[in-house]
Structure 1
Amino acid sequence: MPRLSVRGFDIHKGCLDAAAQSDILEALRPVLRRAPLTTPETRRGQKLSVRMSAAGELGWTSDRRGYRYEPRHPRGTPWPAIPDPVLRVWTRVTELEHRPDSCLINYYGADARMGLHQDRDEADLSWPVVSISLGDDALFRIGNTTRGGKTESIWLHSGDVVVMGGEARLAYHGIDRIRFGSSRLLPKGGRINLTLRVAG
């Protein structure tokens, strides 16, 4: 499979074939029944355009109290376990024995986006973050370790996997837009992004 390196981001193009993508999607269905997608808000009360859930020991949340990891879904129930097909992707692309304790699940609808941000709420930033794309194409923007400066963009397709580690671990990154309806994986369209992390 083609592997690209963009500013330290290892991008495994076509890492997951159609069968592997379907297996992960099926494994996510019971997770999302137990931990439904929610729409977080910022400290200022603004709703995010991305809907979120999680699996594992910790899930990321955002509300008037700020950004943080929590052991429970906003409705008070523990997060479901990370499905095995998802964990196998982590092992495959990182070759690490240590497993992630958090899998964030983000759903992007037609108008959803994610502004440039750093992943820095984890306790130990030496572990990589692994990002799995399922569904519609997304324009992924890569910045620098500080705000501002030149950025680069690349289209991520269903089945692509990105590893953010080393020099890329604290680089700003985000999703500018998706090509809604570009994939048939999700019956109603949209994109699911899974990010595996060692959070605690």
Structure 2
Amino acid sequence: MSTLFGDDLIARPRRELAPGAVHVPGWLTLEQQSWIADRFREWAAGPVPLRSASVRGHEMSVKTVCLGWHWQPYRYTREATDVNGRCVLPMPEWMIRVGRLAVADAYGGSADAEAYAPDTALVNYYDGSAHMGMHQDRDELSRDPVVSLSLGDTCTFRFGNSEGRGRPYEDVELASGDLFVFGGPSRLAYHGVTRVIANTSPPGCGLDTGRVNITLRVTGLREPERGGT
């Protein structure tokens, strides 16, 4: 992948927020963003649609469609047993390659990037009022890094610590095309999205409104779970 050029990257340099947590602004070009936005519309159209998961009896404001494995709170299944019972779409090979490139770029071409093999993607759609509370990504057996790609409107992303939802944490703006990778000591850090900033989607990114966030993960699961068992 190639980064965008211009004053924006001077104002928003890449940096490590915490050990293993790296923000790379402008990692995707506008053309790449637009192409992925088209894929998002294809995923949302079928066989398992976008849906808001229910966590402890409360419906999330974010809508999600999954690839490879279907995430529902606290577990992964092959079939979307909480939606329509259908199998989710497979994990695209190109997305696995993107994940390896992302880990290599974030961590300076480490040997771990070659072995990185994400087997699921959670694709989240945020409208202007959506947010996500502080949480850990701990439903995976593997502790390989999480790769996050942003499209569309800018969001305020809160990245915290591994001990709890409170301070210390840092708020950072994730704009369209940004990459964020967290692994190693930061793999179980609490994080969330406090708001989406309306009308910040750049022309040509493929989204006129709202935000799409793709998170690539390694579940560590080897055998498919059937029928939610």
Q: Same fold (TM over 0.5)?
A: yes
Is 1:61 the counterpart of 2:81? The answer is no
The structure whose residues are more often strand, as a share, is 1
Deviating above 6 A after TM superposition, structure 1's stretches of 4 or more consecutive aligned residues are none
Structure 1 window deviating more from structure 2 (19-28 vs 171-180): it is 19-28
Runs of 5+ in structure 1 lacking a partner? none
Comparing 89-98 with 105-114, which one deviates more in the overlay? 89-98
Paired letter, 1:53: V
Identity of aligned residues (%): 38
User: Which has the larger Rg?
Assistant: 2
| 2:10 aligned partner | none
TM-fit CA distance, 1:83? 3.2
What displacement does 1:89 show?
2.0
Give the equivalent residue in structure 1 for 2:126: 108
Say whether the 8 Å CA contact 2:155–2:194 is kept in structure 1. yes
The structural deviation recorded for 1:60 is 1.0
AA aligned to 1:139 is T
1:189 equivalent to 2:225? Answer no
Report deviation, 1:172. Answer: 0.6
Q: Deviations over 1:105-141 (max 9, x none)?
A: 111011110111111110122x110001011001010
- Following superposition of structure 1 onto structure 2, how do residues 69-88 of structure 1 map, counting pairs within 5 Å? 69-73=76-80, 74-88=83-97
Q: Which runs of 5+ in 2 are unaligned?
A: 4-12, 104-112, 222-229
Q: Is the 8 A contact 1:28 1:83 kept in 2?
A: no
Amino acid at match of 1:132: L
2:101 matched to 1:92?
Answer: yes
Q: Per the alignment, in what secondary structure is the counterpart of residue 107 of structure 1?
A: strand
The alignment partner of 1:39 has SS state of coil
Contact (CA 8 Å) 2:51, 2:63: kept in 1 or not?
yes
CA gap 1:3/1:187 in 2 versus in 1, 3 angstroms:
closer
The alignment partner of 1:24 has SS state of helix
Task: Give the structure 1 partner of residue 169 of structure 2.
Answer: 151
State the superposition RMSD in angstroms. Answer: 1.6
Q: What TM-score, normalized by structure 2, do the two folds share?
A: 0.79
Is contact 1:23–1:85 with CA below 8 Å preserved after alignment? no
Residue correspondences, number: 193
